[in-house]
Amino acid sequence: MPTAPLSLTASPIEAAAVVRMAEGDAPDGRFGAIATFVGTVRRENVGRQVAYLEYEAYEPLAVKALSLIADEVAGHWPAVRLAVQHRTGRLEPGEASVVIAAASPHRAEAFQACRYTIERVKQILPVWKREVFAGGEAWVEGAIADPSDEAARQAAYRCACG
Amino acid sequence: MRVRITIRLFARLRDLVGSGRLIRDMPTGASVETVWQALVQEFPAIAASRASLAAAVNAEYARFETRIADGDEVAFLPPVSGG
């Protein structure tokens, strides 16, 4: 397992390891809540049977994007400690593509920070997935990656705190 | 005077161009937009991608008016789909 709390990895992600990274070296009992999000590969997408997904990343920028998201989280929820791991390479249905852990003294901040983080990951992280299904393949395309898009940031915050 | 840069392409753009890494010479004073336009000249199939494109210079998010320098790495990012 990689040891950096914000990173990409070509190996299977173990959620418990990401939780441990969020806890870091904080003394036992400092956090009263750790919210986790595990994104997994769905077998069916827009009516298609997914054989597997192939994730590609622009890794040096992706690591910086994760740092940027962590800074935004720190701005909104200063007590939260965040860890994020995103997979690259070929993933079978059911495998974890992203794991987020947000540790906090209280649950409300942990849940909010965790939700905010996955929304921002989907908006700006330079990662792309190619879906291979029975009879074809297609790149999945979502948001235009613009970290300075204030409307997108606010939308993520509303999702988290709605 | 020319500057020599590396162009990085990902996902659908890489497929359209057939390579994820190109070395190209650009005029001094060129911007990210200049690089994109040169790329479109060479690979017309990518032209329609401009409306939904983001860019990075030396692995930092960048605007299309950003000036480039010799040795820079200019990346073009189609809409992302992480998570």
Task: Sketch the domain layout of chain A as residue ranges.
Answer: 6-161
Q: What percentage of residues in chain A have a pLDDT greater than 90? A: 90
pLDDT digits (tens, 9 = 90+) for B51-67: 999 999 999 999 999 99
Q: Are B13 and B79 in contact (CB under 8 A)?
A: no
Instruction: Please give the radius of gyration of chain B, using alpha carbons only, rounded to the nearest integer.
Output: 12
CB contact under 8 A, A127 and B8: no
Cα gap A35→A156, rounded to integer Å: 17
| pLDDT tens digits along A83-136 | 999 999 999 999 999 999 999 999 999 999 999 999 999 999 999 999 999 889
- Across the A/B interface, how many CB contacts are shorter than 8 Å? 90
* B window 22-81, beta carbon within 8 A of A: 52-54, 56, 59-61, 75, 77-81
Q: How far is B61 from chain A (nearest CA, A)?
A: 8
The answer to whether A85 touches A18, Cβ cutoff 8 Å, is yes
pLDDT computed for residue A21 by the predictor: 95
How would you write chain A as a 3-class SS string?
CCCCCEEEECCCCCHHHHHHHHHCCCCCCCCCEEEEEEEECCCEECCEEEEEEEEEECHHHHHHHHHHHHHHHHHHCCCCEEEEEEECEEECCCCEEEEEEEEECCHHHHHHHHHHHHHHHHHHCCEEEEEEECCEEEEECCECCCCCCHHHHHHHHHHHHC
Predicted confidence at residue A4, as pLDDT, reads: 84
**pLDDT tens-place string over residues B2-46:** 999 999 999 999 999 999 999 999 999 999 999 999 999 999 999
pLDDT at residue number A3: 60
Q: So what's the pLDDT on residue A27?
A: 80
DSSP chain B: -EEEEEEEE-HHHHHHHT-SEEEEEEETT-BHHHHHHHHHHH-GGGGGGGGG-EEEETTEEE-TT-B--TT-EEEEEPPB---
The pLDDT confidence band at residue A2, using thresholds 50, 70 and 90, is very low
- Closest residue in B to A144 (Cα–Cα): B79
A51 touches chain B (CB under 8 A): no
Which tokens hold the place of B12? 């659908």
Q: What is the reported pLDDT for A28?
A: 81
Mean pLDDT across chain A, nearest whole number? Answer: 95
Q: Token pair for residue A104?
A: 């906090």
pLDDT surpassing 60 at residue A1: no
The residue assigned the tokens 């074809």 is A136
ipTM: 0.96
- For position A139, what pLDDT does the model report? 97
What domains can be seen in chain B, in order of their start residue? 2-68 (3.10.20.30)
Q: What is the value of pTM for the model shown?
A: 0.96
> Which among B8, B59, B78 is the nearest to A141, CB-wise?
B78
Residue type, A133: F
Token output for A58 = 């622009």
> Which is higher by pLDDT, A25 or B25?
B25
What's the CATH architecture for A6-161? Answer: Alpha-Beta Complex (3.90)
